């Protein structure tokens, strides 16, 4: 059973109310102590799936209260092991629907994915080199390696998460990071295409210049899997998702072909990249919505509802347009 440690540093006058909240939520694994500066420290050991309930209750009570700090920490192990409490019928029904990480923990993880940096650009360039070697040698192992190296999935998931919460700042950071990664990979691979011999008939290149409707289904499934893996705390699954959704390979393919002057197949590769990008974001928003990702306050919830609706409509319209182009091209 994964555990989290919630630690609160707060004025001593607020401590009784915090303890009351924890008692009302029936969490017995708590400890408290008085600090020398007149504040109190309260710790609570809880199952991961319960952190949302506790943090929401604490935030509602202490939002804007000066001197209150609430920390959420992962727990690798606990001795003795906590005894599982007997679940009520309603708790069993909630558990059967699945559990997810708290909104705050998700935000911290995803916010990091949305940020661009020198390391991000370097990783994109290195992945583009590895992918290019794979295409030039027509060797799929190198291409798979590039998919794992490239940090392109994170900012797309961050964009979906931002749309679900209506978080404009996070959305802007994610868009900038996606644009930076896309332009970096495209320009660098195009430069390689100018100086290296590119065979447009190689099987690994050809397969990424032809877009089929099954590619849409694959990208939708992969985007949903990425969002579900993050909300469930199963980030190790993301490596498999990176391979499945293949955001970088069609982009590198397009760059190599553009640099070598093969314009028509390059457009097909760009079309595949756009399909993957749109599907990842569309299914990500829907998955976060199903998982119950919502802001806490009502005014934030109203903004998030509008943002989510606009995102779903926009991505769906773009996907329909691209699907139409795919059908016309195959007809």
Residues 61 and 148 in one domain: no
Residues 68 and 113 in one domain: no
Q: Above 90 in pLDDT, residue 151?
A: no
How far apart CA 174 and CA 113 sit, in angstroms, is 8
Q: What is the arithmetic mean of pLDDT over 57-81?
A: 82
252-297 pLDDT, tens digit each? 999 999 999 999 999 999 999 999 999 999 999 999 998 888 877 6
Q: What is the pLDDT of residue 180?
A: 95
CATH of the domain at 1: 3.30.70.120
Q: What is the pLDDT of residue 294?
A: 80
Q: What is the arithmetic mean of pLDDT over 93-121?
A: 76
Report the 10 Å Cβ neighbour count for 56: 15
> Is 206 inside any structural domain?
yes
Residues 185 and 261 in one domain: yes
Q: What is the arithmetic mean of pLDDT over 84-110?
A: 62
Burial of 76 (0-12, 13-18, 19+ CB in 10 A): exposed
How far apart CA 220 and CA 91 sit, in angstroms, is 31
Q: What is the pLDDT of residue 94?
A: 46
Q: Above 50 in pLDDT, residue 95?
A: no
Residues 221 and 112 in one domain: yes
> Is 94 inside any structural domain?
no
How many Å from the N-terminal Cα to the C-terminal Cα in the chain? 53
Read off the pLDDT band of 97 (50, 70, 90). very low
How far apart CA 176 and CA 116 sit, in angstroms, is 8
Is the pTM here over 0.85, yes or no?
no
Residues 238 and 175 in one domain: yes
**Using only C-alpha atoms, what is the Rg of the chain?**
23
Q: What is the pLDDT of residue 236?
A: 56
- In the sheet that holds 30-34, the strands lie side by side as 30-34, 39-47, 3-11, 69-75
Q: Above 70 in pLDDT, residue 137?
A: yes
Q: Which residue stretches of the chain are H helix?
A: 15-24, 51-62, 89-96, 103-113, 118-137, 140-149, 153-165, 168-195, 203-206, 213-231, 238-245, 248-259, 263-290, 298-330
205-240 pLDDT, tens digit each? 998 898 888 888 888 888 888 888 888 776 655 655
> Is 197 inside any structural domain?
yes
Residues 70 and 115 in one domain: no
Residues 57 and 125 in one domain: no
Using a pLDDT cut of 90, give the percent of the chain over it: 34
Whether residue 132 contacts residue 256, with contact meaning beta carbons closer than 8 Å, is answered with yes
Residues spanned by the domain of 144: 107-330
Q: Above 70 in pLDDT, residue 157?
A: yes
Q: What is the pLDDT of residue 244?
A: 54
Read off the pLDDT band of 74 (50, 70, 90). confident
> Is 251 inside any structural domain?
yes
**Of 75, 94, 115, which residue sits at a domain end?**
75
Q: What is the pLDDT of residue 187?
A: 94
Residues 9 and 136 in one domain: no
> Is 296 inside any structural domain?
yes
Q: What is the pLDDT of residue 263?
A: 93
Q: Above 50 in pLDDT, residue 52?
A: yes
Residues 195 and 282 in one domain: yes
**What is the pairing mode between strands 39-47 and 69-75?**
unpaired
| Average of per-residue pLDDT values in the chain | 84
Instruction: Calculate ∠ Cα 96-292-60, nearest 5°.
Output: 110
How far apart CA 68 and CA 119 sit, in angstroms, is 35
Read off the pLDDT band of 93 (50, 70, 90). very low
Residues 243 and 117 in one domain: yes
How far apart CA 75 and CA 65 sit, in angstroms, is 27
Helix or strand holding residue 3 (H, E) = strand 3-11
Residues 191 and 246 in one domain: yes
Q: What is the arithmetic mean of pLDDT over 95-102?
A: 57
> Is 158 inside any structural domain?
yes
> Is 90 inside any structural domain?
no
Q: Above 60 in pLDDT, residue 85?
A: no
How far apart CA 239 and CA 147 sit, in angstroms, is 9
Q: What is the pLDDT of residue 281?
A: 93
Residues 55 and 129 in one domain: no
Whether residue 57 contacts residue 44, with contact meaning beta carbons closer than 8 Å, is answered with no
Q: What is the pLDDT of residue 317?
A: 95
> Looking at the 3D structure of the chain, how many domains does it have?
2
Q: What is the arithmetic mean of pLDDT over 56-62?
A: 84
Q: What is the arithmetic mean of pLDDT over 62-75?
A: 85
> Is 22 inside any structural domain?
no
């Amino acid at each position: 059973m994964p555990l989290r440690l919630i630690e609160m540093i707060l004025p001593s006058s607020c401590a009784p109310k915090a303890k009351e909240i924890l008692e009302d939520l029936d969490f017995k694994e708590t400890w408290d102590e008085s600090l020398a500066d007149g504040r109190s420290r309260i710790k609570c050991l809880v199952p991961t799936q319960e952190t949302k309930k506790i943090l929401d209750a604490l935030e509602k009570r202490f939002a804007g209260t000066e001197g209150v700090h609430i920390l959420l920490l992962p727990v690798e192990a606990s001795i003795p092991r906590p005894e599982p409490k007997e679940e009520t019928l309603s708790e069993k029904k909630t558990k059967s629907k699945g559990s997810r990480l708290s909104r705050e923990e998700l935000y911290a993880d995803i916010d990091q994915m949305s940020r661009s940096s020198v390391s991000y650009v370097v990783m994109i360039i290195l992945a583009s080199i590895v992918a290019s070697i794979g295409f030039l040698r027509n060797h799929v192992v190198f291409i798979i390696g590039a998919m794992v190296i490239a940090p392109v999935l994170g900012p797309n998931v961050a964009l979906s998460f931002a749309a679900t919460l209506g978080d404009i700042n996070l959305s802007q950071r994610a868009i900038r990071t996606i644009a930076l990664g896309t332009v970096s990979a495209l320009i660098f691979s195009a430069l390689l295409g100018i100086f290296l011999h590119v065979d447009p008939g190689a099987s690994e290149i050809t397969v990424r210049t032809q877009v089929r409707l099954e590619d849409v289904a694959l990208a939708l499934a992969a985007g949903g899997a990425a969002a579900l893996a993050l909300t469930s705390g199963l980030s190790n699954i993301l490596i498999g998702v990176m391979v499945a959704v293949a955001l970088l390979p069609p982009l590198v393919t397009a760059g190599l072909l553009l640099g070598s002057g093969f314009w028509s197949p390059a457009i097909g590769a760009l079309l595949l990249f756009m399909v993957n990008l749109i599907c990842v974001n569309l299914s990500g928003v829907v998955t976060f919505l199903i998982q119950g990702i919502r802001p806490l306050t009502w005014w934030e919830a109203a903004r998030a509802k509008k943002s989510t609706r606009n995102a779903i409509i926009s991505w769906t319209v773009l996907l329909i347009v691209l699907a139409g182009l795919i059908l016309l091209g195959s007809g």
